[in-house]
Amino acid sequence: MKTPKDLGFRFPAEWAKHESTWLSYPHNENSWPDKIETIFPSYNQFISEVAKGEKVNINIQDQKTQDLVTSQLQAIGTKMENIHFHQFRTNDAWCRDHGPAFVLKTNQKAIVNWDYNAWGGKYPCELDNQIPLQIAKHLDLEVFHPHIIMEGGSIDVNGEGTLITTTACLLNENRNPHLSQAQIEEKLCNYYNVENVIWLGDGIEGDDTDGHVDDITRFVNPDTVVTVIEKNKNDENYLPLQENLKLLQKSRLENGKQLNIVELPMPNPVIWEDQRLPASYANFYISNYGVIVPLYSCPQDEEAIDILSKLFTDRKVIGIDSTDIIWGLGSFHCLSQQEPKL
């Protein structure tokens, strides 16, 4: 069967123009035990900011929830003509990982439907696994089936032929134990249409995805990444993030050039009931209107916003408190999936 690469489809960088953003509205109290009500103000603010520049498609459980969310969004002045609900039921809210990967060529859009097992079988996912197919049917799009386990948060691309990922996640035995690193890389190249894969090592503490790259290193333009650095040598994230920095310094882009590397601070540790949470400024989402950055009520918030504002000069950089959202073990990038514009 022909792959997206064979047919000339490509997976655009996140800063390319969006048709819409897809979300799966949070409803699973097991992800935010005793806390889910606290996340809705920040989550709704996130929707409202994204809706300023593009359509927002929201997978929602039922009509009752849709009516409630509609009234909440109206109350904060959301641009409601850009809000579109779909009663596609989900197990959880992490649309980056269970949502479709949209690929484009000149006048055609398609979906890559990676298999999904909720980060190595950690949680139920039978409904989440249907989301790409439901969206493809709704939009009447062709679907490619790579037949390997993958999550959107485990990769990032520069739109020019380079993809970045981690061995901690993609080579984990709970994903595709029957495949070698070379075989996985071949799938990435054929289905995202890239020719250059940069492999980093471990992710950050508290990340139940086994090391998603969207918590540590992100492209901000075709030749520049931001990567999070822990300054406290006694912190458990210090050494893994230093190792990743060294790997980035040795890496090359698809054109053979070195990466421009900009360091982002890590926030102060966010701990809930003795559990370290995967708080990171790298989990920002690039929308048409602005870059939505998770904040954690600590002094480094301002520094992170300042660094990202200097890099994204073409759109607004907007900080939204993520202190409660991160209790679900992810933030704005984990919660969203871009649909690029033809």
pLDDT in tens, 327-341: 999 999 999 999 999
pLDDT band at 220 (very low <50, low <70, confident <90, very high): very high
189 is catalytic: no
Over range 28-46, report the average pLDDT.
96
pLDDT at 149 over 90: yes
pLDDT band at 25 (very low <50, low <70, confident <90, very high): very high
Question: Which residues have a Cβ under 8 Å from the Cβ of 8 and sit 6 or more positions away?
Answer: 105, 106, 193
Over range 12-30, report the average pLDDT.
98
State the pLDDT at residue 322: 98
DSSP E strands, the chain = 18-24, 55-59, 83-86, 101-105, 108-112, 142-144, 156-157, 162-166, 196-200, 217-221, 224-229, 260-265, 271-272, 275-276, 285-286, 290-295, 316-321, 336-340
State the pLDDT at residue 246: 98
The identity of residue 80, as a single letter, is: M
Residue closest to 99 by CA, chosen among 140, 135, 56, 142: 135
Q: For 281-309, how does the pLDDT look when each residue is reduced to its tens digit (9 = 90+)?
A: 999 999 999 999 999 999 999 999 999 99
State the pLDDT at residue 268: 97
State the pLDDT at residue 273: 87
Q: Please tell me what DSSP assigns to residue 107.
A: T
pLDDT at 169 over 90: yes
Q: Which domain holds residue 265?
A: 4-340
Hunting for tokens 């989402």 — which residue is that? Answer: 285
Among 95, 125, 169, 334, the active-site one is 334
State the pLDDT at residue 1: 82
Q: Which CATH number does the domain housing residue 217 bear?
A: 3.75.10.10
Q: For 106-122, how does the pLDDT look when each residue is reduced to its tens digit (9 = 90+)?
A: 999 999 999 999 999 99
Question: Which residues have a Cβ under 8 Å from the Cβ of 306 and sit 6 or more positions away?
Answer: none
Helix or strand (DSSP H, E) at 63 = helix 63-75
264 neighbors 305 (Cβ within 8 angstroms):
no
State the pLDDT at residue 204: 96
How many angstroms separate the most distant Cα atoms in the chain?
54
State the pLDDT at residue 190: 98
pTM metric for this prediction: 0.97
Average pLDDT, the chain: 97
Q: C-alpha angle with apex 255: 254 to 258, nearest 5 degrees?
A: 90
Number of domains forming the structure of the chain: 1
Q: Take residue 266 and report the two structure tokens written for it.
A: 């890590």
